[in-house]
């Protein structure tokens, strides 16, 4: 008998066909993303669950008494209650690796757009504000040969460093929980303290996962430490930044601008102060959002689910649960 699978999000047709081949599938049919409360009512006798972003806590786990595997279609997994999963000895998987290069592209795009004022100047042209003779009003900031500080040197951080060091000949420094000597040698990086990184970098990119230790890692003291002509980019998680402190730093000219793909509250409210600032580039959490990457992620999540249910390898288990 095929294992029973509940799929809590839309999937590309080839991925759905793969899961149908290997399991008895039921699907969330609602017009909006499924909530934790609704998922608890829907889960039924499913042995496997494929989900993106929906919190998976006690309510879902108690209702899904036959659950064996939860496949998170995301590299991050802060939506999972890891302690509750450990207590039940449940397998949970995620989709690292396949999105690294795409997210690194997006981080560099934010940096370049904020530095050269791409979105503000695009609006200027489209709204008819561009007149002959404009010069200094259009100035941005150089990127090439400037110092980039990367906070969080995981796989995506390394991909960003490679683009910056080799493509733009930037002087790249980084701060991380542990040093990466091989990356230092390969790309000419230099490890430094976070204080030095903030104080000396022309651009700062935050690329850490969201953990209790990284929540509000960038706050008032950190923004005050940055150069007033520096630009801050966040392509990690919104809660890693104290948004009120960021707004204050931008309003008071403590930093020159920002490029953001993530926010403390998503979707960001239409009246949010960050949306009123021309020196801030705001994107709708699209780090991995290309058709090719999302298809690869969906297949990775589906394979994780099927392999875990049928005892095959490989399975990309979230690190904290690998010893179960």
- With residues binned 3-state (H G I as helix, E B as strand, rest as coil), the percentages for the chain, rounded to 5, are 40, 15, 45
Residue of 94, 237, 303, 307 marked catalytic: 237
Active site residue 266: yes
Q: Are strands 69-72 and 48-51 parallel, antiparallel or unpaired?
A: parallel
Strands of the 257-260 sheet, one edge to the other: 190-191, 171-175, 147-151, 203-206, 231-234, 257-260, 280-282
Would you call 105 exposed, middle or buried from its count of C-beta atoms within 10 A (0-12, 13-18, 19+)? Answer: middle
Q: Which of 67, 37, 31 is nearest to 50 (CA)?
A: 67
DSSP codes of every residue in 287-317: TT-SHHHHHHHHHHHHHHHHHHHHT-S---B
Write out the H or E segment, with its range, that includes residue 57. none
CB 212 within 8 A of CB 186: no
Task: Name which of 85, 51, 38 is nearest 301 in CA terms.
Answer: 51
Report the sign of the C-alpha dihedral through residues 75, 76, 81, 83, in that order: positive
**Is 237 an annotated catalytic residue?**
yes
> Of the candidates 223, 225, 232, which has an alpha carbon nearest to the alpha carbon of residue 203?
232
* Calpha distance 45→57 (Å, rounded): 17
Among candidate residues 9, 38, 186, 285, the one labeled active-site is 285
Instruction: Tell me, yes or no, if 162 is annotated catalytic.
Output: no
Q: Which residues are catalytic?
A: 237, 266, 285
């Amino acid at each position: 008998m095929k294992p029973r699978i509940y799929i809590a999000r839309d999937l590309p047709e080839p991925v759905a066909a793969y899961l149908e081949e290997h399991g008895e599938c039921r699907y969330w049919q609602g017009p909006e993303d499924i909530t934790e409360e609704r998922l608890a009512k829907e889960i039924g006798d499913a042995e496997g669950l494929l989900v993106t972003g929906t919190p998976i806590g006690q309510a879902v786990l108690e209702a899904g008494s036959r659950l064996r595997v939860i496949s998170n279609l995301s590299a991050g997994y802060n939506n999972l209650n890891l302690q509750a999963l450990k207590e039940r000895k449940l397998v949970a998987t995620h989709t690292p690796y396949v999105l690294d290069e795409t997210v690194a592209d997006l981080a560099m795009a934010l940096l370049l757009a904020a530095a050269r004022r791409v979105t503000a100047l695009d609006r200027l042209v489209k709204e008819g504000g561009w007149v002959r003779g404009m010069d200094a009003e259009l100035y941005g900031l150089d990127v090439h040969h400037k110092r980039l500080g990367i906070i969080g040197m995981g796989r995506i951080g390394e991909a960003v460093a490679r683009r910056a060091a080799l493509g733009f000949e930037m002087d790249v420094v980084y701060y991380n929980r542990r040093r990466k000597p091989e990356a230092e040698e390969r790309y000419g990086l230099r490890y430094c303290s976070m204080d030095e990184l903030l104080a000396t970098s022309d651009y700062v990119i935050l690329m850490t996962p969201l953990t209790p230790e990284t929540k509000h890692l960038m706050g008032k003291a950190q923004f005050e430490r940055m150069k007033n002509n520096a630009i801050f980019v966040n392509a990690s998680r919104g809660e890693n930044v104290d948004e009120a402190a960021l707004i204050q730093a931008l309003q008071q000219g403590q930093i020159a601008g920002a490029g953001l793909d993530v926010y403390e509250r998503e979707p960001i409210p239409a009246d949010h102060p960050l949306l009123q600032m021309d020196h801030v580039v705001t994107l709708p959490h699209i780090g991995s959002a290309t058709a090719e990457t999302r298809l690869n992620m969906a297949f990775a999540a589906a394979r994780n689910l099927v392999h875990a249910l049928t005892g095959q390898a490989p399975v990309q288990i979230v690190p904290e649960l690998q010893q179960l």
